[in-house]
Amino acid sequence: MTPAIEIDAVSVTLGDTAVLDSVSTTIDEGRLVGLVGPNGAGKTTLLRVINGVLDPDQGSVRVTGQDVSALDSRATSQLVATVPQSTASTFEFPVRRIVEMGRTPHIGRFGTRTSADRDAVDEAMDRAAVSHLADRPVTEVSGGERQRVFLARALAQETPILLLDEPTSDLDVNHQVRTLDLVTDLVDEGRTVVAAIHDLDLAARYCDELRLLHDGRIRAAGTPESVLTAATLEAAFGARATVTTHPVTGAASVTAFADDAPESTTATVHVVGGGGAATPHLHRLDAAGVECSVGVVSTDDADAETARAIGADLVTVPPFAPVDDEARATVSERIRRADAVVVADVTVAPGNCPTLDAVLGADTPLVVVDGRPVDARNVAGSRGRRLVSRLRARGIVVDDDADAVVAAVRRAIDTPPIHDRSPYSP
């Protein structure tokens, strides 16, 4: 593949800060490459070096084989178009006029617009879905619409390389996906796109490759799966994170948490799951440094997979098999040994009633996740209803939210059961 952008040992110092520190990377033609990294990592600066706005203090940038510092801005602007991050605008140009400005590199000082220019503008507005805004002043459209107006301007520029600085930051979910689908189409047509994206899930889902920047250096480069690992993310963002596979898109999915691991990570929590109800809580507990055990679940349950992924202790029975005496004894022992038990928003069925009995039979502090209404998740009749109400009466009841669960677990561990504190209790 031909390299579209070659960055060779580029350093940029602004004031006393080295914003880019000897950065080298090559971006091949026809690829969508995401720049990820924490705020201030140098993503925007790297884009400004590529489009020639900023001359690097050291090193060189070549775009389609030509040294950017040797090109005048008109020549550069015929190769590289940029969608800026901040598109605030205080003057009332109609949207169409803004998009027409994308033709500036193609029109001479005394030239007039040709039909080719008009076609390019029409097509760009159509693709960015802003045609209906053509005559509206750009000051009166929403932030998300304005971002697409500036995307249309960059499309009208008809360059082989497109730079996007946080192209989705002002967009709602629907437009984020539509914008990135459009960008993917552009890449399929052979354009090269470099996008600074702060949303790691979107970056993983859409980008062919990622470059992880941190402190002005590229810390990881390659496919999203190879760049987005718990280790690289913790080093760059200073946050604990878990990386899983998104169930629908199949792309890497990142869940980051503030680095709030308790000082002692000796706490163990037993989680009663099933049907995937415990998965978010398991990730969150694992990220908080809690040792987990899970059960009883069937061997092919989604929660069992999660437990294996985070290395949790697992009590299973074969699919569709009832909880036998051996499994019940094992899970009772886990529950007794644990510092706390979490009952996830599971469906209460005859199959897991023995597990819930075991929970009630132990003194371990209890956290009960209150998700769906009881009747919506109880298929065990009056026995199930009774079990749920007894669990709720004994434990701390929290919403189905991983952060709330972790907080409740902390409270449960810090507050010993009432009969432990009372001298008059048996």
Partner 1 sequence: MRTSVRTGAWVGGLLGALVAVTLASATIGPVEIGARSVAEIALAAALGGTATAPESHRTIIMSIRLPRIALGAVVGFALASAGTVMQGFFRNPMADPSIVGISAGAATGAVAAIVAPVAVPVALPVAAFVGALVAAFGVYALASEGGRTPVQTLLLAGIAVQTFLGAAVSFMLVSAGRDLREAIYWLMGHLHHSTWTEATVAAAVVLPGFLGLLAYARDLNVLLLGEEDAHSLGIEVERTKRLLLTVSSLLTAAAVAVAGVIGFVGLVVPHVMRLLVGPDHRILLPTSALAGAAFLVATDTVARAGAAELPVGIVTAAVGAPFFLYLLRKREVHAP
- Which of residues 46 and 290 has its CB atom nearest to partner 1 in the complex? 46
Query: Smallest gap, in angstroms, from Cβ of residue 73 to partner 1?
Result: 5
Q: Tell me the residue ranges of DSSP E strands in 64-191.
A: 66-67, 80-83, 161-165
Q: In this chain, which of 16, 72, 375, 420 binds partner 1, going by CB under 8 A? A: 72
97 binds partner 1 (CB under 8 A): yes
Query: Smallest gap, in angstroms, from Cβ of residue 34 to partner 1?
Result: 20
C-alpha to C-alpha distance for 372 and 277, rounded to whole angstroms: 11
Q: Which stretch binds partner 1 (CB under 8 A): 74-82, 214-222, 346-354, 406-414?
A: 74-82
SS3 372: coil
Residue among 332, 333, 404, 418 nearest 367 (CA): 404
375 binds partner 1 (CB under 8 A): no
136 binds partner 1 (CB under 8 A): no
91 binds partner 1 (CB under 8 A): yes
What lies within 8 Å, CB to CB, of 323 at 6+ separation is: 296, 317, 331, 351, 352, 354, 355
* Residues within window 193-222 making contact with partner 1, judged by CB under 8 A: none
The neighbour count for residue 317, using CB atoms within 10 Å, is: 20
- Which of residues 138 and 272 has its CB atom nearest to partner 1 in the complex? 138
* Residues within window 145-184 making contact with partner 1, judged by CB under 8 A: 157
C-alpha to C-alpha distance for 112 and 145, rounded to whole angstroms: 28
* 161 touches 64 (CB < 8 A): yes
16 binds partner 1 (CB under 8 A): no
Residue among 243, 199, 242 nearest 225 (CA): 243
Site size with partner 1, rule: CB under 8 A:
31
Query: Smallest gap, in angstroms, from Cβ of residue 156 to partner 1?
Result: 10
The neighbour count for residue 401, using CB atoms within 10 Å, is: 15
- For 192, half-sphere exposure in the C-beta direction (CA atoms, 13 angstrom radius) is 18
110 binds partner 1 (CB under 8 A): yes
70 binds partner 1 (CB under 8 A): no
Query: Smallest gap, in angstroms, from Cβ of residue 143 to partner 1?
Result: 16
- Which of residues 87 and 352 has its CB atom nearest to partner 1 in the complex? 87
- Residues contributing to the site for partner 1 (CB under 8 A): 48, 51-53, 72-78, 80-82, 84, 89-94, 97-98, 101-102, 104-105, 107, 109-110, 157
